């Protein structure tokens, strides 16, 4: 790490530590220990937050993020030279692992503090002796409801982003417009019923969905000390030229995708 990056890391840590309790843990992904800084639990987050309507869940490390990073780091999807978009990046682990494997990564989140935390974790882990040529992710603030980003990507990542039904319409628009025709969508979810509804609707659109189950145990996480079963969803298009018009029609007719 350069002296400038080290100073930036210390400054950002001090900035966030003035607002939140932070801890740094080592998370094993692909035979490497990643130093990930996050707020340790929801109780610590509640102590620091006044506005519960904009609760910063992204400052926590979720099992879905760990499961997603472990899934594609095992070689399920080639990443070298690929353009990758991470939605709802939070602490940023999946995007960082993708960058370490040679991808050009763009990370987005709704909250500035989450992107600052993702920057801290990027500086702590990239580049390294294991991945000396990895590039730090590009970042920008985003609201899925007013999304205007035009770029297209080979791979879109999302860990635990299907929690809110009212956002499904907007996410579907992003997947349709920002994923390359032969691109792949990788989503991770802990088994929320609204996520299952979204997946079934994707299939109606003519997308294929392959599901892999992966148990993930984080320190202090899970129910009754048991691992959380993360569902890894690998999504691809099956139709090409006619798909976009068909999607538009179903978006208007399917209540699952209608915005509030």
Query: pLDDT value at position 214?
Result: 96
Task: Give the pLDDT confidence of 169-180 residue by residue, as tens digits.
Answer: 999 999 999 999
Q: How far is 243 from 247, CA to CA, in rounded Å?
A: 6
Q: Does domain 3-257 have CATH number 3.40.50.150?
A: yes
Buried-state track 49-64, b at ≥16 Cβ within 10 A, e below 16: beeeeeebbbbbbbbb
Quick one: pLDDT at residue 257?
54
Is pLDDT above 60 for 100? yes
pTM for the structure as a whole: 0.90
pLDDT tens for 178-232 read 999 999 999 999 999 999 999 999 998 889 999 999 999 998 665 567 899 999 9
Task: Give 46-77 pLDDT, tens digit per residue.
Answer: 887 776 667 788 999 999 999 999 999 998 88
pLDDT greater at residue 143 or residue 45:
143
Greater model confidence, 53 or 28: 28
What does the pLDDT look like over 150-190, one tens digit per residue?
Answer: 999 999 999 999 999 999 999 999 999 999 999 999 999 99
């Amino acid at each position: 790490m350069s002296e400038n990056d080290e100073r930036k890391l210390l400054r950002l840590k001090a900035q966030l530590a003035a607002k939140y309790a932070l801890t740094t843990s080592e998370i094993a992904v692909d035979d490497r220990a990643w130093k990930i800084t996050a707020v340790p639990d929801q109780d610590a987050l509640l102590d620091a937050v006044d506005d519960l309507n904009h609760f910063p869940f992204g400052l926590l490390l979720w099992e879905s993020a760990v499961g997603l990073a472990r899934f594609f780091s095992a070689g399920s999807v080639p990443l070298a030279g690929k353009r990758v978009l991470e939605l709802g990046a939070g602490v940023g682990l999946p995007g960082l692992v993708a960058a370490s494997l040679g991808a050009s990564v763009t990370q987005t989140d709704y909250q500035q503090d989450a992107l600052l935390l993702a920057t801290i974790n990027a500086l702590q882990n990239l580049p390294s002796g294991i991945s000396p040529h990895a590039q730090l992710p590009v970042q920008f603030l985003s609201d899925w409801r007013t999304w205007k980003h035009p770029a297209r990507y080979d791979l879109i990542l999302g860990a635990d982003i299907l929690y809110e039904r009212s956002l499904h319409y907007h996410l579907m628009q992003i997947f349709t417009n920002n994923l390359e025709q032969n691109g792949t969508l990788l989503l991770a979810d802990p088994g929320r019923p609204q996520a299952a509804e979204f997946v079934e609707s994707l299939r109606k659109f003519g997308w294929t969905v392959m599901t892999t189950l992966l148990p993930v145990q984080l320190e202090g996480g899970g129910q009754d000390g048991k691992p959380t079963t993360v569902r890894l969803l690998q999504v691809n298009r099956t139709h090409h030229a006619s798909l976009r018009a068909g999607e538009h029609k179903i978006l208007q007719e399917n209540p699952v995708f209608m915005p509030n």
